[in-house]
Structure 1
């Protein structure tokens, strides 16, 4: 700890406050440069994907607040103050975010990201007790931090980055597996190129053995269950919200497989959970499958465009009664089971990667505060740096040595 010294955030690099391009200039928005907002950033995720992008023209108009790769973005206003991400390519943020364009010759950008992820309690103190917590650029820049010399920073970042790189790799694997399974569904049940389709007789406009039904006869949707935050007790069962697993609880409501879709707030996302779970009241879950394959039900829901069934005024709402009357054609049970036999192993492999990510995240989060505080020394460790930290390292090290 002797080499650790007190600095302020401004010592880490250039502090930049974002800005939103004027809506009156739609030509400033496009598909080229990510536009980062607090809602894009998730606690615990190093990188983020954005809902909106800027055009070359819009990015050029904001040249004074452009954020290069590995800039650290910190949410400094609102209920989610303290959320952090790192940019993986040139970007721009909105005004609710203060960013650190790290001086890479003096400090390691990955270390600064992990250090910033520990600043939430400090930011909340600086924000005071106002109804809308806010830490402006000046106050953010003056926050005191304790940091080691650059080589120790790199060792600490390497340990934590190794975990995050594995997590990101697993996420890509999960996405690929999900795309493969969904493409099989589309091939069989949308394009109707299922096995032996050429030899299947078409009767009344559909393959022989298939049935015409209403959606409400295909499966039964039911509203999820209330669970106030203050009643959540840590446990093994996922609590499923409209777009993701919100937390874990010691009790459950539904046996697997648990298939849910957003009922209020966010519509269109369909999730399949292979363990006992607690679907929240913001979702509809499949209570009855009526003998149909859960996998067929899952992919059918995913491909229905449920976001287009909004029956709410201010808050998007999905009314199950509006869905129940939709006419559809249901494949015969033998074909459903053949489909399930193919996609079930794909789902199991994806689930293994998800569980691995849960374990990796827990371990990383246990190490993070001990490493960032210096309580866990890395001085005597021979660290192998992950490939993601080696890009541009030689140039940075040469600049550091010449400085």
Structure 2
């Protein structure tokens, strides 16, 4: 069956955004996920239901600055600037359009706007039934990835929940026999103390690694907003923790594998279980409202007051959480393999180089 070539501008409809959230309005949890142009699929949450996107679903999110693409078929709120909301015109399957946009070779120009460039590109559009079959093949990989993501979320919630139970609510093993004492800084179980963050860890500086100096590889390059690229060489052996120094000040990022933290970050050096430190850091108020220039001063960060729990309890938490994160690491590895397989098929299916019937047959035989 024949296919036609269309300019992207002629097969999309840009959706109206009545509301959008600034990054300082994002919450760590809430009833409505916030989706923006960042690499994270969900950037934050809100409980302001009346500010949620109220247009038709599904929509395709295109990051005007980042070129990130996201397929959203659930209720959400729009975050920050540069988030373009797209829907297909009649006769175009929404999920096929999402994958077709992925196949576009769009040259990136740093933090400039790219939507005007995307609209000028062209994509192949086969008959609607073929579109749906292509989308079904590629979507099967994404469905498996999503199942793994949900399992990861459950495992991470278990680690977070136990930390809060033991170190926030003080319902640790044997807590019934431990009295709670009032202190000027707050209540503490007997045997616990207050100290400075610097008593528990060091914060070495990350190291600059410009985009043109990176060689794509298996090592994550991490900035204050998260993973910003890849490289063949690591600066720090994983697992590890990165703390935002400039940009997204005070962000706390986990890396399960070797990584390269760039010069907008610190990385953590500690003798304590990393998963305990990761949970602890997410509860440290790093904001310095008196700083003349936005950024996280290392001396200021290390001077933050923290509760120091008995070492035996901290180690016990680490022994519980480590197997959970090992499972997370395995699932993330599986997702990388699934994504790589999908990405090998995607351009060949979209371009028509690969037969849909042949691909369906091969997948059935492999199942």
Q: TM-score, normalised by structure 1?
A: 0.73
Partner residue, 2:139: 161
Change (3 A) 1:378 1:318: same
Pairwise CA distance, 1:48: 5.4
**CA distance in structure 2 between the aligned counterparts of 1:196 and 1:361, rounded to whole angstroms:** 45
Question: What does residue range 314-393 of structure 1 map to in structure 2 within 5 Å?
Answer: 316-380=294-358, 382=360
**CA distance in structure 2 between the aligned counterparts of 1:97 and 1:340, rounded to whole angstroms:** 42
Partner residue, 1:107: 92
Partner residue, 1:309: 288
Q: CA RMSD in A?
A: 3.7
Aligned length: 347
SS at match of 1:309: coil
Change (3 A) 1:365 1:313: farther
SS at match of 1:376: coil
Pairwise CA distance, 1:118: 2.5
Once structures 1 and 2 are overlaid, which stretch shifts more, 261-270 or 197-206? 197-206
Change (3 A) 1:365 1:196: same
Partner residue, 2:259: 277
Pairwise CA distance, 1:344: 0.8
- Please point out which of 28, 50, 59 is paired with 1:71: 59
Change (3 A) 1:164 1:313: farther
Question: Residue 67 of structure 1 contacts residue 92 of structure 1 at CA under 8 Å; is this kept in 2?
Answer: no
Partner residue, 2:170: 192
Gaps of 5+ in 1: 24-30, 60-65, 386-403
Once structures 1 and 2 are overlaid, which stretch shifts more, 181-190 or 227-236? 227-236
Question: What does residue range 16-95 of structure 1 map to in structure 2 within 5 Å?
Answer: 16=14, 18=16, 40-42=36-38, 56=50, 67-74=55-62, 79-80=65-66, 82-89=67-74
Once structures 1 and 2 are overlaid, which stretch shifts more, 223-232 or 47-56? 47-56
Q: TM-score, normalised by structure 2?
A: 0.79
- Please point out which of 82, 91, 116 is paired with 1:135: 116
Pairwise CA distance, 1:135: 2.1
Change (3 A) 1:228 1:8: closer
Partner residue, 1:399: none
Pairwise CA distance, 1:293: 2.6
Pairwise CA distance, 1:83: 3.8
Change (3 A) 1:35 1:281: closer
Question: Residue 34 of structure 1 contacts residue 54 of structure 1 at CA under 8 Å; is this kept in 2?
Answer: no
Pairwise CA distance, 1:380: 4.3
1:74-133 deviation line (CA, Å, top 9, x unaligned): 45x5x44x5433332467977873623442xx3322111111223353x87xx9xxx865
**CA distance in structure 1 between the aligned counterparts of 2:241 and 2:344, rounded to whole angstroms:** 32
- Are 2:278 and 1:298 aligned? yes
Change (3 A) 1:4 1:336: same
- Please point out which of 198, 212, 226 is paired with 1:230: 212
